[in-house]
Structure 1
């Protein structure tokens, strides 16, 4: 039996939406180390502190789960 793990990713909403539409996960501005810790069957929940990476207006919401 596999032990699934659960992750929280923090990214701007525009980056999360791009990942969801593309069918991939991204974290830490394309650093691969955090994603290599994930396994098939793991879950990720994305929290975004702002809507666009280039803006500073806070938004603070969970936006995707997969």
Structure 2
């Protein structure tokens, strides 16, 4: 079982990724000249961040129940 600190760290990282993904939604669909990130890759990153947040939330909730 994960400790509260590790769960909080994972949740914080997931939230940072989600914030970054949300900010990127406002950028042009073409990759930035200094980045090789494509719209498809950004979508995958968004989905991965959302899933990480869901898992962190479930783990955090379970930790509270114990």
TM tier relative to shorter chain: under 0.3
Question: Which has the larger share of helix?
Answer: 2
Larger relative contact order (C-alpha < 8 A, sep ≥ 6)?
Answer: 2
TM-score by length of 1: 0.28
Question: Which entry has the higher C-alpha Rg, 1 or 2?
Answer: 2
